[in-house]
Structure 1
Amino acid sequence: MEVRLEGITKSFGDFTAVNNLNVTIEDGTLAGLLGPSGCGKSTTLYMIAGLEKPTSGRIYFGDEDVTDLPAEKRGIGLVFQNYALYPHMTVRQNIMFPLENAKVPKAEALKIAQEMADLVQIGHLMDRKPGELSGGQQQRVAIARAIAKKPRVLLLDEPLSNLDARLRLETREEIRRIQQETGITTIFVTHDQEEAMSITDAIVLMKDGVLQQKEAPQEMYRKPANQFVASFMGTPPMGFMNGKVENGKVFIGSSILGDAEVANGDVVVGVRPESWRLSQEEGINATVKMVEVIGRDKLMTVDIEGQSVRCLIDSDNEVNVSDVVKLTVKPQAIHVFDTTSGHRLG
């Protein structure tokens, strides 16, 4: 089911949480609503769910305008951050609850509940209660309950935030597997860009209620629309320097960094830490200010023409504080942004 938002704005008094949002989530895809706290992503999810009504704009499921439909008539499955399971009910009863409300015959509801539990790999836990389950198992119960009624759209509100790091990794892979097996259009809210990049077909990145970019994860990483997107996507984040372009050459101070097919003038130059390369022969001079060993890599903070950036290099390289090294940048890895708007120039 395609989900389409047209000119969606949501205001709370004088505060605008979402501002003129236009975005389409394609049928059968897994999309992540991503952004820092307060960017409007959860509000957007709640408007899609029908828990919040837009101040203006329209919401469509396929060709159907659902803007004024109550949540229970939209055909959505919703998983909250805290899972909202009934503690006095067993896993089986929790999964069956929406089916019983929909007057599904008990024998059929039992069959569906078992199928959904098997899909999320908790079929052996049906007689347990939520208090007897781990956080990851409770998460799976909540997902099974949400998809038991075969929703048109599955909505997840920060579904992994209550899990530890290892369980978060396992569970996000499970969410992807479940989505692919069911084919349900799925939208989930997260503030973790690594989480969004790892499993989504598309990322909807927001800031201050405004859409910054909607793109496939790797394409957004490779071609960020503006300086905010560039800084938000990637760990460690992209570093920025003041520079200029003259006749297709990018200068940092008096040193040539590389090429860029943009108009002459002052620019902001962005390079991801992993795009730098140590060179023995040619390159731009950099003075090492700090070295951190992070497993297989070293993260150097260097000074280039009075500006500080971070470079990620193989830990086998011997570098020390105060060393002067030569650095080059991988081809196509120099990002150039407008100094005023922050928009990507090339």
Structure 2
Amino acid sequence: MTSEHQTMEAPNEAELCFPTINNSCRRSPRPELESTVIYIVLSAITAMTVVLNLLVIISISHFRQLHTSTNLLLLSLAVTDFLVGSIQMPFQIFYFGGCWLLGDLSCVVCFVSGYLVIGVSCGNMILLSADRYIAVCDPLLYHSKVTIRRVQACVCICWISVIVHVSWIMRDFVKQPGVFNTCVGECVFVLVHPEEGIADIVISLVSPFTIITVLYLKVFTVAVSQARALRSQITSLGLQPSGAKKMELKAAKTLGVLLIVFIICCSPYYAFTLSAETPHLDPLSGVVEVWLICFNSCINPIIYAFSYPWFRKSIKHIVTLQIFKPNSRNSRIL
């Protein structure tokens, strides 16, 4: 009776990640049709994310007219989104079946890159919020306060700060890859020190979201009042609206959409993390929440395409290979 019961509980070799290893993890079985559809959809999203963000990177880097302070911030955001599509999404697709076959070192790369791109994305969103805050609330001093050099310095500080933070949080994980795995074929990261987990949540979640919300509420309030004043002036005096003012308000609106979409995509994952009973994390935990964060990197360039005429013109130049013509860097895009 006992031996029969043990035989019934023993997993089939097909259910194991490594059938020849006793301590192998189990797979997450799914119907073949369902798995095929999921893999096709996720692969398509990954390809779109890589291609669209690469177009943003090429556009802003190539055309001189697009070398502005705001676009430099968008370039930094596009680089992080490109890394999500080229590194994070393939890892998530590969691990979707529940088996990590790439080894412990690749597991470290997966988690470190994931923490890095999310942290830098939050930093970029803060910088974009501050940029729009100054542009809308203090427009006369915007060009003297927000220069290319200062923005470059802020972007570098953002990347360096996130790298230092991630290196500290994951120092034990990097030194001993696979130390938190309970079976062979698993990729797990554990926040061992509770106080560091709390600090990480404050630094990477509470503080960025608070700063972004406060700054953009102020931007939204001022932008609405300026739009009303502009319409009133046009109606009463029959004047033509200021092109520069319209561009600033449109940019604020576009970046507002970016920020709202970012918060919507990230909030479920952080809510899932906060509600978890343990700090035990692996790429399969909250798989929908993780993919929602990744999907945000695909949505951003789509927002640019609908909101920025310069992006649509740039795509046309790139696709038709006009960027290889002499002096194409000086083409009129705006």
TM-score range, shorter chain: under 0.3
Which protein, 1 or 2, shows the higher relative CO under an 8 Å CA cutoff with sep ≥ 6?
2
Structure in which a larger fraction of residues adopt strand: 1
Structure in which a larger fraction of residues adopt helix: 2
Q: So what's the TM-score if we normalise by structure 2?
A: 0.23
Q: So what's the TM-score if we normalise by structure 1?
A: 0.22
